[in-house]
């Protein structure tokens, strides 16, 4: 348990970040070495951090690595990935290399269409409310488009209405979905503003009461699909292919397996989403909800063999990412990463992200169906364990190499190795 006397710090949000760090350190009785760590991490980052979040005291560096070998729709790509997990980037490089001979990843998309929900309650005639709203289509379009003239200028704006009457524990509710083309924006703020502007008018027209007015992260009108073919000789033969298919059928049938299978996909997806300053939680929520759209949780990907016996992978998921808005535009690292990608539209970025997710899934399934995940994972993890036990400089590689050679990447053994190395010096 922490020794914190009180979690109340008067006026913390009004202090400059350095004073905030001091105040937190004092309250939490933080050792000076940790204050130094946070101060050093804040260096060069704190002004931005302070603009992005409340009560900022520091910043946290996540490694950025490059996924090589990617070809997306015939275009060679270097893909920046931000992740703290070993093996993730290596797996994409390897998987992408193995499908280069068949042209890499081919993609398609349903377009940048988002939806916001307005919850209408308290009406005894929810079906009637539904029709009353539909009759106001033109006025609704006018209200929504007036909220965001800039979006209109870029070719986006209100597109449609979808109104559902749902049964809840509290009785029926009428849920109005406004369907909006958000172009190169993720669109959360755009559609939320429209929903808030529209809600009072809906109340006026229907006499129902509006409560929630917010986008849905189940962006099922903004679906991106990627597919790729891995030739049999790149997989390791028929047995490996069949075992990978078996791994897929397992994931598709069992939520315990599906959760981990899909986590592997999201290792790739979230790393590119984060590297480009997009909202990882929005993408994750949408991906998992879309996967469970038939009422049960299953594999996000589909796998088959083609007529020549090659392995075909397909990934189809909502991908609400933008190049405008959120941190994408104002985080210099996100901008630098977008420049490595060379993408000019949110649509192009979304296609790359889903392709990376598919590559990641191939890599994890192949490793699991053959040598197991630990072999590749542990090689990189050995370095982390060496660092964890306090190895520095050349000691890190010495400890890691020895851990790998004895095949046991364990902290207690790393401690022994480090102690021995130091005693031999
Ligand atoms: P935003 O409002 O910052 O930027 C979008 C706006 O930029 C558009 O509405 C438009 O006016 C303008 N714009 C300029 N050029 C454009 C172009 N080419 N295409 C489209 N729009 C253009 O950002 P946003 O995308 O509306 O919202 C994204 C942010 O919302 C993220 O930071 C996200 O974390 C946050 N958010 C998410 C949720 C959620 O996922 N549930 C909820 C609230 C907020």
pTM of the model: 0.92
* Under 8 Å between Cβ of 163 and 176: yes
Q: What percent of the chain has pLDDT over 70?
A: 99
How far from 140 is each of 145, 171, 175, CA to CA, in Å?
Answer: 8, 26, 15
Q: Residue 227: beta bridge partners?
A: 106, 314
Per-residue pLDDT reduced to its tens digit, 126-140? 999 999 999 999 999
Among this protein's residues, is 331 annotated catalytic? no
- The count of residues in the chain is 425
Per annotation, catalytic residue among 148, 181, 234, 279 = 279
Q: How far apart are CA 198 and CA 119, in angstroms?
A: 12
The strand pairing partners of 71, in sequence order, are 76
Going by CA atoms, what residue is nearest to atom 3 of ligand 1? Answer: 325
| Among protein residues, the one whose CA lies closest to atom 19 of ligand 1 | 184
Contact 276, 96 (CB under 8 A): no
Is the C-beta atom of 165 inside 6 A of ligand 1?
Answer: no
The answer, yes or no, to whether any atom of ligand 1 lies below 6 A from the CB of 325, is yes
Q: What are the percentages of helix, strand and coil residues in the chain, rounded to 5?
A: 50, 20, 30
**What does the pLDDT look like over 293-347, one tens digit per residue?**
999 999 999 999 999 999 999 999 999 999 998 899 999 999 999 999 999 999 9
pLDDT in tens, 386-424: 999 999 999 999 999 999 899 888 899 999 999 999 999
Using most ligand atoms within 8 A of CB, pick from 190, 215, 286 the residue to mutate for ligand 1. 190
pLDDT digits (tens, 9 = 90+) for 78-95: 999 999 998 999 999 999
The pLDDT value given to residue 376:
67
Is 261 a known active-site residue? no
Mean pLDDT, the chain, integer: 96
Atom of ligand 1 nearest to the CA of 182: 20
Q: What are phi and psi of 292, to 5 degrees?
A: -95, 20
Which of the two residues, 73 and 328, has the higher pLDDT score?
A: 73
Q: What is the DSSP string of 2-45?
A: ---S-S--TTGGGS-HHHHHHHHHHHHT--HHHHHHHHHHHTTT
Sign of the CA dihedral 217, 218, 224, 228? positive
d(CA 71, CA 81): 16
**Residue 263 falls in the annotated catalytic set:** yes
């Amino acid at each position: 348990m922490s020794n914190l006397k009180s979690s109340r710090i008067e006026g913390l949000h009004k202090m400059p970040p350095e004073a905030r760090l001091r105040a937190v350190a004092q309250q939490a009785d933080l050792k000076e070495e940790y204050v130094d760590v946070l101060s050093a991490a804040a260096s060069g980052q704190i002004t931005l951090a302070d603009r992005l979040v409340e009560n900022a005291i520091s910043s946290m560096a996540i490694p950025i690595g490059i996924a090589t070998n990617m070809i997306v729709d015939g275009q060679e790509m270097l893909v920046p990935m931000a992740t703290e997990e070993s093996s993730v980037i290596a797996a994409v490089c390897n998987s992408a290399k193995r499908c280069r001979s068949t042209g890499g990843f081919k993609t398609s998309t349903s377009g940048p269409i988002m939806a916001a929900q307005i919850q209408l309650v308290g009406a005894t005639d929810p079906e009637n409310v539904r029709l009353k709203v539909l009759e106001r289509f033109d006025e609704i379009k006018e209200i929504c488009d007036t909220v965001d003239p800039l979006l209109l200028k870029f070719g986006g704006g209100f597109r449609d209405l979808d109104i559902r009457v749902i049964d809840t524990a509290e009785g029926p509710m009428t849920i109005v979905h406004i369907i909006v083309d958000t172009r190169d924006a993720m669109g959360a703020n755009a559609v939320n503003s429209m929903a808030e502007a529209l809600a009072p008018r809906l109340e006026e027209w229907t006499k129902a009461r509006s409560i929630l007015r917010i986008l849905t992260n189940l962006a099922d009108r903004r679906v991106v699909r990627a597919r790729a073919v891995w030739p049999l000789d790149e997989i390791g033969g028929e047995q490996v292919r069949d075992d990978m298919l078996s791994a897929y059928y397992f994931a598709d049938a069992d939520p315990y397996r599906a959760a981990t299978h899909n986590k592997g996909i999201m290792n790739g997806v979230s790393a590119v989403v984060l590297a480009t300053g997009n909202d990882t939680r929005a993408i994750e929520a949408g991906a998992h909800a879309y996967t469970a759209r038939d009422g049960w949780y299953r594999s996000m990907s589909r796998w088959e063999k083609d007529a020549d016996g090659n392995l075909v992978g397909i990934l189809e998921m909502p991908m609400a990412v933008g190049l405008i808005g959120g941190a994408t535009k104002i985080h210099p690292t996100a901008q630098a990463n977008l420049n490595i990608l060379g993408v000019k539209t949110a649509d192009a970025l979304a296609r790359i992200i889903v392709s990376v997710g598919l590559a990641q899934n191939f890599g994890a399934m192949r490793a699991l169906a053959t040598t197991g995940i630990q072999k590749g994972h542990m090689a990189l993890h050995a370095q982390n364990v060496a660092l964890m036990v306090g190895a520095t400089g050349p000691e890190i590689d010495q400890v890691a190499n020895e851990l790998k050679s004895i095949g046991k990447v364990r902290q207690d053994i790393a401690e022994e190795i480090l102690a021995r190395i130091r005693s031999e010096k």
